[in-house]
Structure 1
């Protein structure tokens, strides 16, 4: 059986490594791989008529700002629109819980593997499981997002964005400039965030400190 694979990774040596690993699959799949080294090249391939069984996406990639494609996550969202039958595997160096959580709830990829977690054997195991209809999260993904998934109401996309903006040094009064929220709505959401993080007293600095302790940022 031939499998058509798209590998999006900005390091050519990594692409060659993935090809070699996948060629050792135990199911006798014949791998036909297409490569892309940045978001623009991947955008052009994903939006054309070619179909792929599996798309492997690195999370951190050279952006394509003209189309608002800045990461592997954006490419995954694009893939869901243009290649709904393709199975998505995101490979990332990021272990931050908010990034991993955001991937899961926004894209629901069939696989997420943190690069520091997996060996060649684990990547191949995940690949074969996903091709057969399963899903796979590497150890760090499972450990870091399990609690967040149990409390989705606290960490919807708005609250995740607020935490990220605070961590970037944006003051609360200026957050409405970055989000479609009033200052009162931001303050109400900060109450939810503090509740989740177990903060009784303290301001933005305490939110950042607790979020870092929790591995969110």
Structure 2
């Protein structure tokens, strides 16, 4: 566990509510049992996919933290993280993953995660990480190289600015459809499609269709 100071401390209370979004139920239940050994007052709710998590959050947002897996059956974790931001869910989100790829950490942080916790950590270490996050610290895994921690992460990419209609255009673009077929599929004029493509190129900081698809794949924007 490596901690970098953040400007605001959220604070941690004895009673802690955590939502874990992980499709491996045994793993999630094992983590809940392990964390309760650290805090008897911990209340951890489990959602096995993003759909279930969205339903829970539509009724109750009184959680201190969301632990989100990167790989889920109905959506990629980072896409759901960005959706939470769009929906103005103000609960801090940390990635809980078995991936030890530094680029996954880069993408998680750039997507708004407040930390990245390795699933290989012990229950006590994960609880320490949760406590640190709620105290306003950024938690980074030990495998994450120090030289990357001060590196800007794709600052020229503005994922949040992509509209739902532009996302539809992007999905069809990734299928290799030309503009005229995209027009037919979405019932748009060719000028409108060109405008959406121009906006996508700007948001993703690219110059052509091939680069656009490549960067979108990197950011898990394509189904």
TM bucket (normalised to shorter chain) is: 0.5 to 0.7
Alpha-carbon distance, 1:55 to partner: 1.9
Alpha-carbon distance, 1:41 to partner: 3.3
Q: 1:44 aligns with which of 35, 40, 55?
A: 55
TM-score calculated relative to the size of structure 1? 0.57
For structure 1, which runs of at least 5 residues remain unmatched after alignment?
64-69
Which structure has more relative contact order (CA 8 Å, sep 6+)? It is 2
Q: How many residues align?
A: 193
| Pairing 1:120-159 to 2, within 5 Å after superposition | 120=121, 123-136=126-139, 139=144, 146-149=152-155, 151-152=156-157, 156-157=161-162
Change (3 A) 1:215 1:19: same
Larger CA deviation: 131-140 vs 5-14:
131-140
Alpha-carbon distance, 1:34 to partner: 1.7
Pick the structure with more helix per residue.
1
Change (3 A) 1:76 1:127: farther
Q: 2:68 aligns with which of 49, 57, 71?
A: 57
Q: 1-side partners of 2:102 and 2:133: how far apart?
A: 23
Checking the alignment, whether the CA contact within 8 Å between 2:170 and 2:213 is kept in structure 1 is no
Q: 1:110 aligns with which of 93, 110, 114?
A: 114
Q: 2:23 aligns with which of 10, 14, 18?
A: 10
Give the equivalent residue in structure 1 for 2:94: 89
Larger CA deviation: 35-44 vs 87-96:
87-96
Give the equivalent residue in structure 1 for 2:175: 168
List per-residue Cα deviations over 1:64-98 (Å, max 9, x = no partner).
xxxxxx565447745885863x3222345787979
CA RMSD of aligned residues (A): 4.9
Q: 1:184 aligns with which of 194, 199, 207?
A: 194
Q: 1-side partners of 2:148 and 2:186: how far apart?
A: 31
Checking the alignment, whether the CA contact within 8 Å between 1:88 and 1:111 is kept in structure 2 is yes
For structure 2, which runs of at least 5 residues remain unmatched after alignment?
1-13
| 1:32 match: secondary structure | strand
Q: 1-side partners of 2:47 and 2:53: how far apart?
A: 5
TM-score calculated relative to the size of structure 2? 0.56
Change (3 A) 1:186 1:15: same
Checking the alignment, whether the CA contact within 8 Å between 1:3 and 1:53 is kept in structure 2 is yes
Give the equivalent residue in structure 1 for 2:9: none
Checking the alignment, whether the CA contact within 8 Å between 2:67 and 2:96 is kept in structure 1 is yes
Change (3 A) 1:193 1:24: same
Give the equivalent residue in structure 2 for 1:119: 120
Alpha-carbon distance, 1:12 to partner: 0.8
